[in-house]
């Protein structure tokens, strides 16, 4: 019971900060990283990350990796620049800046799509990922989580395997374009994390997606600590 109360209190504190500062959706986050740090840094960030991650694991990974304080502001400044580059080069991508990281969603509207029951990257998808690879090369001190998702059509176990193949296909494609393999983590969730309703064709198209979380590498974190004496 005691542990539950502490966890709930931390959630309330950070939730109020998030609402008050409007941390989500394409805002400048240099100062917001420092605000999160003042509320408890990585410990509270991890609590929020675990809870948000139940419905959005990419977002949970970003917040769970928070550094906070002046170092967090340093990281956030660099993430702002990287997010701007992604928005400039890939207009169809849905880019969300959260705290010290970036959440990018690629679905059919963003030009990353797969043929039915297929997982190979080709055509417009390849062109979009080529642009992303070039940006990732500009910011080598970030790590990338790649997640695969599907709609609810077909058996659940098949969709699970399909989401794995698609996530790994995107990761392998980016590695082949020169992005260091050690920067990637790849996960998949089948149909278990829909972004929209599966009752319409439009909703299903949104759920057939690959989602990325971009966070600071250990190297960037150490640089941030050195530069800010944090």
Q: What are phi and psi of 67, to 5 degrees?
A: -100, -50
**Range scoring the smallest mean pLDDT among 11-25, 55-69, 84-98:** 11-25
pTM confidence score:
0.76
The structural domain count of the chain equals 1
**Range scoring the smallest mean pLDDT among 40-44, 137-141, 179-183, 184-188:** 40-44
pLDDT of 52 strictly over 50:
no
Note down the domain range covering 75. 2-228
Residue 46 belongs to a domain with what CATH number?
3.30.1330.60
- CA 181-93-30 angle, 5° bins: 80
Angle between helix axes 30-38 and 2-21 (nearest 10 degrees) is 150
Residue 84 has a pLDDT of: 96
pLDDT digits (tens, 9 = 90+) for 80-100: 999 999 999 998 889 999 989
pLDDT digits (tens, 9 = 90+) for 109-129: 777 877 777 788 888 888 999
Sign of CA dihedral 35, 18, 23, 143: positive
Report the alpha-carbon distance of residue 217 to residue 222 in Å, rounded.
Answer: 9
pLDDT digits (tens, 9 = 90+) for 149-171: 999 999 999 999 999 999 999 99
Contact partners, residue 61, CB within 8 Å, separation at least 6:
49, 53, 101, 145, 213, 215
């Amino acid at each position: 019971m005691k542990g539950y109360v502490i966890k709930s209190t931390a959630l309330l504190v950070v939730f109020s900060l998030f609402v008050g500062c409007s941390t989500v959706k394409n805002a400048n986050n240099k100062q917001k990283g420092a605000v999160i740090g003042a509320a408890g840094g990585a410990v509270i960030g991890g609590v929020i990350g675990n809870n948000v991650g139940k419905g959005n694991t990419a977002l949970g990974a970003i917040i769970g990796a928070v550094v906070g304080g002046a170092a967090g502001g340093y990281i956030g400044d660099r993430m702002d620049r990287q997010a701007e580059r992604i928005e400039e080069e890939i207009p169809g991508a849905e880019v969300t800046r959260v705290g010290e990281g970036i959440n990018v969603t690629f679905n059919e509207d963003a030009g990353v799509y797969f043929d039915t029951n297929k997982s190979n990257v080709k055509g417009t998808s390849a062109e979009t990922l080529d642009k992303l690879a070039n940006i990732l090369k500009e910011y080598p001190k970030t790590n990338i989580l790649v997640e695969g998702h599907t709609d609810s059509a077909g058996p659940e176990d098949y969709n699970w395997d399909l989401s794995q193949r698609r996530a790994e296909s995107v990761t392998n494609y980016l590695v082949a374009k020169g992005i260091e393999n050690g920067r990637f983590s790849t996960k998949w969730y089948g149909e278990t994390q829909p972004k929209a309703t599966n009752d319409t064709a439009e909703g299903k198209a949104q759920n057939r997606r690959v989602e990325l979380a971009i966070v600071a590498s250990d190297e960037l974190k150490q640089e941030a600590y050195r530069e800010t004496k944090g």
